[in-house]
Structure 1
Amino acid sequence: MKLVYAIVNNDDTYAVNKGLQKAGIRATKLSSTGGFLMAGNTTFMICCQNEQVDEVIAVLKEHSRKRKQFVPSSTVTGPDGGQSYPVEVAIGGATIFVTDIERFEQV
């Protein structure tokens, strides 16, 4: 068995959850926060058989997308004072980890 951890941007949580449900894949959702942008994410924990991992990843890829967002950068000081310039960063998509399960019980 495998445990798939998928960290998904909150904007994609609904679509990913519906896609997993439609595929008959059960998941546990946890609220999480990213360290770089301090933005809200959802971490899906999905326990599945080894042969289902590719299907799980396909659903995650289909329903989570990357997008660009402007975030404030650090302040640059100059003769006119301090100014902050927005920087464009890529956000979204899914960060996926797959680990082996030594033991699984559902009680």
Structure 2
Amino acid sequence: MKMIIAVVQDKDSPRLAQNLVKEGIRATKMASTGGFLHAGNTTFMIGTTEDKVPQVLDLIQSSCRSREQVVTPMSPMGSQLESYVPYPVSVQVGGATVFVIDVEQFEQF
């Protein structure tokens, strides 16, 4: 048994959820917030058998795409604010961060 934890951007969440349902793959969906951009994410927890892991990973990869976004960085902690001038920078966001974890025991009541 495996646990797949996928952190995806909120914009990709509906597409991934719909594709998982189409394939009959159950998932628990939780709202989460990223630490870098402080933007909304969705975390999917998917319990599955080991032989279905490649299928689930393919669904995640095809449902979640990366994109460029212009952001203004936050001021560094402890710096003098009058000397800090934030300039917008382009960063790559989206896609998915995925963890595949062995599950020692699974119970369903």
> Do both proteins adopt the same fold according to a TM-score greater than 0.5, normalized to the shorter chain?
yes
User: Aligned to 1:87, which of 74, 86, 89?
Assistant: 89
Q: What is the rounded CA distance, in whole Å, between the counterparts of 1:95 and 1:73 in structure 2?
A: 22
* Number of equivalent positions: 102
Instruction: Check conservation: 1:2, 1:47, Cα contact below 8 A.
Output: yes
Runs of 4+ in 1 over 3 A off after TM superposition: none
What are structure 2's unaligned runs of at least 5 residues? 76-82
How far the C-alpha of 1:82 sits from its partner, in A, is 5.8
Q: In the alignment, which residue of structure 1 is the partner of 2:63? A: 63
Separation (CA, whole Å) in 1 of partners of 2:92 and 2:22:
28
How far did 1:65 drift? 0.4
Hey, what does 2:107 align to over in structure 1? 105
What is the RMSD of the two structures over their aligned residues, measured on CA atoms? Answer: 1.3
- Following superposition, the deviation at residue 85 of structure 1 comes to 1.2
Shift of 1:88: 0.2
Shift in CA distance, 72/15, structure 1 to aligned 2, threshold 3 Å: same
Quote the sequence identity (%): 47
Which residue does 2:79 correspond to in 1?
none
Q: Distance in 1 between matches of 2:73 and 2:62?
A: 31
- Measure, in 1, the Cα distance between the counterparts of 2:27 and 2:67: 24
Within 1, Cα distance between the matches of 2:103 and 2:84? Answer: 52
CA contact (8 A) 1:74 1:85 kept: no
TM-score when scaled to structure 2?
A: 0.89
Cα distance in 2, alignment partners of residues 35 and 11 from structure 1: 17
User: TM-score of the superposition, structure 1-length normalised?
Assistant: 0.91
d(CA) in 2 for partners of 1:74 and 1:32? 20
More strand by share: 1
